[in-house]
Structure 1
Amino acid sequence: MSPDVTWSIGELAERAGVTVKTVRFYSDRGLLPEAARSGGGHRRYGPEALDRLRLIRSLRTLDVPVPDVGRVLERGDVLEDALEDVVAGKLRELGSQLTALRWREAALRLLQDCPPGERAGRLRLIGAVSTPPSTAAMAGFWRRWLPPRLPARLVSAIVEEAVPQLPDDPTPAQVLAFARLHAFTSGPCTGDDRGQPEVHRTGKGYRPAVLYDGLREAFALAAPDLRAQRAPRPGEALDCFVSAHARARGTRDTAAFRRSLGAQLAAEPRIDHYWQLVAELTSPPSGPPEPTPGAAYDWLCAALDAALDASDPGPGRRTREPSSSTNC
């Protein structure tokens, strides 16, 4: 086709398979180059306008917004890069929309399949959750619950490990677990300072940053045993766990310290409800769940109890108190 050929707006519309109104719309927005004007002032378009119009139609078929189409056309010399950016952005947007739809579908199935007497309560829980869901309430919960003045890098690491990754295609049971988790972490704090572990309290001489750094290492060491579903036992993970508590208190890991630590941990408040819901939310369809920090903590406490029982099997040992659901 000769580059010098030109068409009227109607001829261009016919060649491209669109309406005159569509050509005028894109032309008025500067997306279609005019080759010339007729003697009567009418627009004339060349082959470049036809190529552009076909590209615009292709992008709009993929639901690319007109402003983004304009940005692609402006970068004509790097068209491939511009297209890659736009396509990647649309894929991210579409992924978010699909995730939201899957969560809504699972929520509707949850309501459909539950007993009629539970439907209203579940609807209230689900209605408080956005789609796609956000973990902001959980992150805020941990930032409130952790002791003050922890280093920012440590707080960020703990929050990242404690806040679960949400499934893209949840089951109804996972939707319910998330809704309950959201309600638990976004509700008002219902406890006082007794809802916090001893090490969180000011004026006690503890070094919480030392403890939490050590706990993260101990949890990582315990993870292989948890994945293999081994019973709690002495070893490197337990030694690291006890050492973290000892160093946070400025003392040494001795038999006497282990006995006092076992008694203290048995009496401390817990947030097992949070970790139970996280396990329900993140459990894979088959196989053991990925260890959570809560599961690692329980395993290490049980390992400490077992070690103390083995060294001192006599009466008088404290039993671990029931977990607390206090959210503070």
Structure 2
Amino acid sequence: MNGDTTYTIGELARRTGLTVKTVRFYSDQGIVSPADRNPAGHRRYGVDAVARLELVRTLRELGLGLPEIRSVLERERALPAVVAAHAEALDVRIRVLRLQRAVLGAVARRGSTPEELTMVHRLARLSEDERERLVGEFLTGVLGASVAGGSVAGASVAGGSAAVGSAAGGRFAAVARSLTPELPADPSAEQVEAWVELAQLAADDGFREVLRGLLADEAAEAGEGRPRPGLAVAVRELAGPAVAAGVVPESPEAAVIAAELLSRYAAMLPGGAEAVRGRSGDRSGDRLRGRLGERLAAMADLRRERYLHLLAVVNGWSEPESRAIELDWARRAVA
């Protein structure tokens, strides 16, 4: 084969794997030009047209448009620069596709209505600033003005101990920040879907009310003293082994554990210990038992644990350890 060899459109199409119609289109657009015409006026193409069309085909498969391809072929733009720019555009497209896939997946699993589909799509498309405002509104709804200056929100959500006071303010502010969802710039479909559900959960007034109640209770229990082990720690230490040992919450053995838990809880409250040691028939002990039952029920709220799970997914953290079984066991044992 030498430089004098020429091909018809049909031959060129077979060599490049393109259709005759496509080759003719590229020829009409000036992407590849005929080297000559035969006596009948039919176009003939040189060997360079094969290499040129193969490059065009590759660039088209990568998604480049004809203007970009023309600029590369005519040496107006360097190929690496064009490909790099297109790679960036593909990155954006990939993020959009991931977002769309996550939204569709969420809708498919939830059996959402058209109205819910619109809401889910809106939540997924929120900008970083809009996401921060949504989370800020959620924390403010739970904590009030204390969000900016340090709070016990994180301890309330996570079930840890809390102490109110200036010495602990910085600690609680750090905990609250650690519970703020931060969707990465290039999230996975799982992270986007988790963010959508978390945003919906944050807008749940009932969930906010549960957290506000936990916050108020922990503040009352902590008083103005130094931070001390809270109710969650007591539940883990007492109910954890009982659950592992298969102790039934309604059993006499569980009643002993429940009494110890009630005693520890009473010690967290001003005057609580005296109430537990009250006279036979004194209703203050019943009131304290009822209050503890309400606290445990709030701590065992499945929405709280779901929040922590979704938060871990969005932020790329390890899965938090579940305390739901221990909390439910303690609630039943105290009832």
TM-score if structure 2 supplies the norm length?
0.41
Higher share in helix: 2
TM-score (norm 1): 0.42
Of the two, which has the highest radius of gyration? 2
